[in-house]
Amino acid sequence: MTDFTGLELAQPILRAITDEGYTTPTPIQLKSIPALLEGRDLLGVAQTGTGKTAAFTLPLLHRLAQNGEKLKSRQPRALIIAPTRELAAQINDSVRCYGQHMHLRSTVVFGGASIRPQIQALNRGVHILVATPGRLLDLMNQRHLQLGSVETFILDEADRMLDMGFIPDVKKITAALPNKRQTLLFSATMPKSIEGLAASLLNDPVRVEVAPAATTVEKVEQHVLFVAKDKKRSLLGELLKNKDIARVLVFTRTKHGADRVVRHLQQCGVKSDAIHGNKAQNARQRALKSFRNGRIRALVATDIAARGIDVDGVTHVINFDLPNEPESYVHRIGRTARAGAGGIALSFCDHEERAYLRNIEKVIRQSVPVLEDQPFHAAEIANAPAPGKRSQQRKRNPNQRRRNPGRTKRAPKAA
Ligand code: AMP
């Protein structure tokens, strides 16, 4: 069974999948959909980019299609919770897309946006509610929402929920759910506390594990560019003269750093915008939309704001600043290797960031090739003793060396 017709999904759903141009289910879809159609609980160890949203949405839509599509005011039949507004909005977009040929109502609620239209949508009644935990609890506490009719509960990116301190909220939400329900929990990693949460929420779940982080990493062509801190912006401007860098996600450590990068790019004539926590929700949505539809070429983001962002066709990820958590590196570069596609990740590394680079290389179990042929290459950073080690020079594998991508056919992809 390698195509969608082998999965016994209702016709309107298959039509929507065809409209989207999907021909083959991804591994997580192949493994999850049959078990979910049987009504099993599921523990999914998978990160964004694996096709997990469709893996949980398609069987959910199928169940709704089979069981009649009746609606009750303020009582959703399925609840999906996600840690960030962007991810929640994206899930709702996917639900609408896959459910476009059904008579289906869904809505998304999150903080930072006016609550009134959210209350109105709930009053009208929805089959599927997608929510971030805080706003969901507000709506429950204000009695605009009742979870007694929830048949399917999906918790996405549980490890991010943990990082962001949402687990107590999640527990309050799950306490309001009926005992008889189907429950799905997805997490990119499985720390002990998530295992514990899963054990308390799931009933005899199927465990589906796909593409550990390293597999995604392998699909991405990675380079490190050693550069002095004060030359990073000039380097970025130079790289973006290369039009092959068509859709680029640039990561900075701070919100102000993101704004500074955007100002510089605009001076260089590169259409760009930033998303980070200081921006109003609608400004973030606007930036994301412009990035998706190609109106802007570069989106500059901080880690938190970028969590779960799903944009197809990102040709490059540029780490303007290296993250201090290797896991963030893996998440960041995974944005350019969606659903099996490859991509290119370029990481700027200044003197102080060499320790981060070393930790990243340990976690991804490979050394990141150095791109020397760039105008701001700082040999003194490359050759300085590795932090924490005595006079060990950074070794370069000659096979991994790249020429200036601007001058080669393939490399523009690379830089
Ligand atoms: P997700 O892991 O849910 O964030 O999905 C990652 C991306 O893969 C999204 O852009 C989906 O539109 C796309 N996608 C999901 N399933 C398939 C499929 N079977 N074939 C092609 N693309 C897919």
CB 300 within 8 A of CB 273: yes
Straight-line distance from the first to the last Cα atom of the chain, in angstroms, rounded to the nearest whole number: 39
What is the phi/psi pair of residue 22, to 5°?
Answer: -80, 135
Residue having the nearest C-alpha atom to atom 12 of ligand 1: 51
- The tokens 């096709």 sit on which residue? 51
- pLDDT at res. 327: 75
CA distance 337 to 87: 17
Q: Name the band, by pLDDT with cuts 50, 70 and 90, for residue 410.
A: very low
Distances (CA, A) of 322 to 30, 273, 310, 315, 355: 35, 20, 21, 19, 10
CATH number of the structural domain 214-383: 3.40.50.300
Residue 366 is predicted with a pLDDT of 86
Residue 239 to residue 132: CA distance in whole angstroms: 37
Q: What residue spans in the chain does CATH classification 3.40.50.300 cover?
A: 4-211, 214-383
Q: How far is the CA of 49 from the centre of ligand 1 (A)?
A: 6
Tell me the average pLDDT of the chain.
87
Contacts of 36 (CB under 8 A, 6+ apart): 42, 55, 56, 59, 60, 182, 184
What distance in Å separates the CA atoms of residue 27 and residue 50, rounded to the nearest whole number? 8
Whether 54 is in the pocket of ligand 1, judged by its Cβ within 6 Å, is yes
Mutate to test the pocket of ligand 1, among 2, 3, 22 (most ligand atoms within 8 A of CB): 22
Q: What is the pLDDT of residue 215?
A: 60
* Residue of minimum CA distance from atom 21 in ligand 1: 22
Contact residues for 91 (Cβ-Cβ < 8 A; gap 6+): 53, 57, 80, 82, 108, 130, 156
User: Which fold is adopted by the domain 4-211?
Assistant: Rossmann fold (3.40.50)
pLDDT of residue 212: 54
Residue 396's pLDDT band (cuts 50, 70, 90): very low
Q: How far is CA 415 from the centre of its chain?
A: 23
- CB of 380 closer than 6 angstroms to any ligand 1 atom: no
Q: Cβ(216) to ligand 1 under 6 A?
A: no
pLDDT range class, residue 11, cuts 50, 70, 90: very high
Name residues whose C-beta falls within 8 Å of residue 108's C-beta, 6 or more positions apart in sequence.
88, 89, 91, 92, 129, 130, 131
Confidence of residue 334 (pLDDT cuts 50, 70, 90): confident
pLDDT of residue 404: 40
